[in-house]
């Protein structure tokens, strides 16, 4: 329904032998196709997300661009805008990296009021 994403799965989403980082795609709620191999369907709660967008970058500078954006995210205080991070509610997510648009990462938040 949207583009593929990278997800840092919550602890309660992990199964034996899996890692914390996964790739995913959104499918309709009534998706009924048989899931094969090591793939799984997980339901995510609806949540508010802060979307962080880094500067566009040359593809060969991918790692540096991602690190710069992640460092800026660490310094950002959502409480200034009435929110707090709520990473126990939903996975951190990143969109497919494309230098022309910059690195994009989303973090779940909840209102302080």
Q: Are strands 83-85 and 92-95 parallel, antiparallel or unpaired?
A: unpaired
Mention every residue, 6+ apart, whose C-beta is less than 8 A from residue 105: 51, 52, 69, 70, 73, 92, 93, 94, 95
H/E stretch holding 49 reads: strand 48-53
The pLDDT value given to residue 1: 52
H/E stretch holding 8 reads: strand 5-8
**Which structure tokens are listed for 90?**
């939903």
The string of pLDDT tens digits covering residues 67-109 is 999 999 999 999 999 999 999 999 999 998 899 999 999 999 9
Mean per-residue pLDDT for 27-33? 86
Residue 65 has pLDDT above 70, yes or no: yes
The pLDDT value given to residue 2: 73
pTM value is 0.86
**Which structure tokens are listed for 68?**
């710069």
């Amino acid at each position: 329904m949207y583009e593929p994403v990278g997800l840092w799965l919550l602890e309660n989403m992990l199964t034996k032998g899996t890692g914390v980082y996964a790739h995913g795609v959104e499918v309709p709620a009534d998706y009924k196709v048989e899931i094969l191999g090591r793939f799984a369907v997980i339901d995510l709660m609806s949540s508010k997300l802060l979307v962080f967008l880094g500067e566009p970058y040359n593809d060969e500078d991918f790692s540096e661009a991602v690190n710069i954006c992640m460092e800026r995210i660490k310094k950002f205080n959502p409480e200034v805008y009435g929110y707090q991070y709520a990473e126990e509610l939903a996975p951190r997510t990143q969109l497919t990296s494309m230098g022309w648009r910059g690195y994009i990462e989303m973090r779940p938040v909840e209102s302080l009021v």
